[in-house]
């Protein structure tokens, strides 16, 4: 058996692939692309919510939001580390993000004009992320799967927390309820877009499924998300902004309207409402932090020399 067949046989037996194992170049490349994109999404994802830390309406919410955004930073950290096991370093990945070569989840290119968006993001965006990520806990590459186990635990906490923010608004004043509905109106369709293009148009899906990097197709995951989320919207008393949404007894799931793919591709291409702001914020942070990183390295170097002199 050649290396490639042997590799596929291991995948088929559901064995985990570890960093030192032989793997096809395109498997490695696919993983680097996917994991780094995922890591970038975590840290760019800090921005729309980070917006509201200084304006959170209560001390309890401020603390929860700070902790949540910090969790996302932690997710970024695990994922960059997982990607590094494939032989790419964090600095290179960050450069790719900053030059626009690497992508991040388009959802974070939408703005957060109201407090209700902190609820909607937790509920829908973290909710959609969970749908995508729970199967990744069983993905074929070991370090990625293990990182996802930690991430998923926190994401489901975020999802409940977001739902609870909205529940509080929906049980509050008319003004608060309207704020929640407006937020759902803005986040619903972009959340469905988080699952990516329809299966027929998804160029990576087939190979990723064969390698068990992916376990479900985009459309399968999207359907699961809609089915899980509609009853939650009913509990909130909010209306999902889709006139075509309807229970389909036969398939045991909801039918829903067509996604605006023009908008989807437009945002992917960089024309979303906040693409420039998000990328600029990341680039600024990186550039303004350069002197700190350099100084920390220079100091560590000095310390090492002093230690060596002591030993000598």
Partner 1 sequence: MANPASLVKYVLYLGDNNLILSQRLGEWCGHGPVLEQDIAMTNIALDLLGQSRMYCQYAAELSGSNKTEDDIAFLRKEQEYNNLLLVEQPNGDWGQTLVRQFLFDSWHYYLLHALVDSKDQNLSDIAQKSIKEVTYHLKYSSEWMIRLGDGTDESHKRMQNALNELWRFSEEPLIMADYEKDLVESGIAVDISTIRESVQKKRQDIIREATLSIPEDEFMQTGGKEGKHTEHMGYILTEMQYMQRVYPGQEW
Which parts of this chain interact with Fe ion (CB under 5 A)?
A: 42, 72, 75, 126, 155, 158
309 binds partner 1 (CB under 8 A): no
Q: Among partner 1, Fe ion, none, what binds residue 75 when CB lies within 5 to 8 Å by partner kind?
A: Fe ion
Q: Among partner 1, Fe ion, none, what binds residue 73 when CB lies within 5 to 8 Å by partner kind?
A: partner 1
CA dist., res. 141 & res. 123, Å (int): 28
CA dist 93 → 102, 169, 310 (Å): 8, 39, 38
Residue 195 · residue 248 · CB < 8 Å: no
CA dist 266 → 113, 160, 260 (Å): 21, 31, 10
Cα–Cα nearest to 193, from 100, 73, 98, 108: 108
283, with CB counted inside 10 A (0-12, 13-18, 19+), is middle
Q: Which is nearer to partner 1, 246 or 306 (CB)?
A: 306
Mask for 34-63, x = binds partner 1 (CB under 8 A): ---------x--xx--x--xxxxxxxxxxx
Q: Assign residue 145 a region: left if phi > 0, alpha if psi is -120 to 50, beta otherwise?
A: alpha
Q: Which is nearer to partner 1, 210 or 285 (CB)?
A: 285
Q: Which is nearer to partner 1, 68 or 212 (CB)?
A: 68
Q: Among Fe ion, partner 1, none, what binds residue 155 when CB lies within 5 to 8 Å by partner kind?
A: Fe ion
Residue 90's Cβ-side half-sphere holds a number of Cα atoms within 13 Å equal to 11
Q: Among Fe ion, partner 1, none, what binds residue 288 when CB lies within 5 to 8 Å by partner kind?
A: partner 1
Listing DSSP states for 260-304 in one string gives -HHHHHHIIIIISTTHHHHHHHHHHHHHHTHHHHHHHHHHHHHHH
**DSSP 3-state of 110:** coil
All residues at 6 or more sequence positions from 57 whose CB lies less than 8 Å from its CB, including other chains: 115
Q: Among partner 1, Fe ion, none, what binds residue 215 when CB lies within 5 to 8 Å by partner kind?
A: none
* Residues 164-183 within binding reach of partner 1 (CB under 8 A): 165, 168, 171-173, 175-176
Q: Which is nearer to Fe ion, 40 or 158 (CB)?
A: 158
77 binds partner 1 (CB under 8 A): yes
CA dist., res. 152 & res. 135, Å (int): 10
Shortest separation between residue 75's beta carbon and partner 1, angstroms: 10
Strand partners of residue 175: none
Residue entry with tokens 């990625």: 144
Residue 119 · residue 169 · CB < 8 Å: yes
Q: Among Fe ion, partner 1, none, what binds residue 269 when CB lies within 5 to 8 Å by partner kind?
A: none
All residues at 6 or more sequence positions from 299 whose CB lies less than 8 Å from its CB, including other chains: none
Q: Which is nearer to partner 1, 69 or 134 (CB)?
A: 69
Strand partners of residue 141: 17
Mask for 113-142, x = binds partner 1 (CB under 8 A): --x---------------------------
Q: Which is nearer to partner 1, 88 or 226 (CB)?
A: 88
Q: Please count the residues of this chain forming the interface with partner 1, following the rule CB under 8 A.
A: 48
Q: Which is nearer to partner 1, 46 or 192 (CB)?
A: 46
Q: Which is nearer to Fe ion, 158 or 186 (CB)?
A: 158
Binding residue for partner 1, selected from 235, 251, 284, 307, defined by CB under 8 A: 284
* Residues 234-273 within binding reach of partner 1 (CB under 8 A): none
Q: Among Fe ion, partner 1, none, what binds residue 126 when CB lies within 5 to 8 Å by partner kind?
A: Fe ion
Q: Which residues bind partner 1 (CB under 8 A)?
A: 43, 46-47, 50, 53-63, 66-67, 69-70, 73-74, 76-77, 80, 115, 165, 168, 171-173, 175-176, 281, 284-286, 288-296, 298-299, 302
């Amino acid at each position: 058996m050649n290396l490639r067949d042997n590799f596929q046989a291991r995948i088929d037996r559901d064995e985990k692939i570890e960093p030192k194992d032989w793997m096809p170049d395109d498997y490695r490349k696919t993983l680097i692309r996917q994991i780094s994109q995922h890591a970038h999404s975590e840290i760019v994802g800090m921005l729309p919510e980070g917006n509201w830390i200084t304006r959170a309406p209560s001390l309890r919410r401020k603390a929860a939001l700070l902790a949540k955004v910090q969790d996302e930073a932690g997710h970024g950290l695990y994922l960059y580390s997982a990607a590094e096991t494939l032989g790419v370093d964090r600095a290179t990945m960050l450069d790719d993000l900053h030059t626009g070569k690497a992508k991040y989840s388009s959802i974070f290119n939408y703005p957060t004009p109201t407090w209700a968006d902190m609820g909607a993001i937790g509920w829908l965006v973290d909710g959609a992320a969970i749908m995508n990520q729970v199967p990744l806990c069983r993905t074929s590459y070991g370090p990625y799967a293990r990182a996802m186990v930690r991430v998923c635990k926190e994401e489901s906490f975020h999802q409940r927390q977001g739902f609870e923010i909205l529940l509080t608004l929906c049980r509050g004043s008319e003004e608060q309820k309207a704020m929640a509905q407006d937020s759902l109106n803005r986040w619903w369709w972009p959340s469905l877009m988080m699952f990516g293009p329809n299966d027929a148009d998804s160029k990576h899906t087939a190979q990723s499924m064969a390698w068990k990097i992916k376990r479900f197709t985009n459309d399968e995951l999207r359907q699961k998300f809609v089915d899980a989320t509609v009853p939650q919207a009913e509990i909130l008393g909010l209306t999902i902004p889709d006139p075509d949404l309807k229970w389909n007894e036969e398939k045991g799931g909801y039918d829903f309207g067509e996604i605006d793919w023009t908008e989807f591709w437009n945002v992917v291409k960089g024309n979303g409402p906040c693409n420039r702001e998000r990328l600029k914020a990341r680039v600024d942070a990186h550039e303004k932090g350069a002197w700190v990183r350099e100084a920390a390295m220079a100091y560590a170097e000095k310390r090492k020399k002093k230690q060596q002199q002591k030993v000598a």
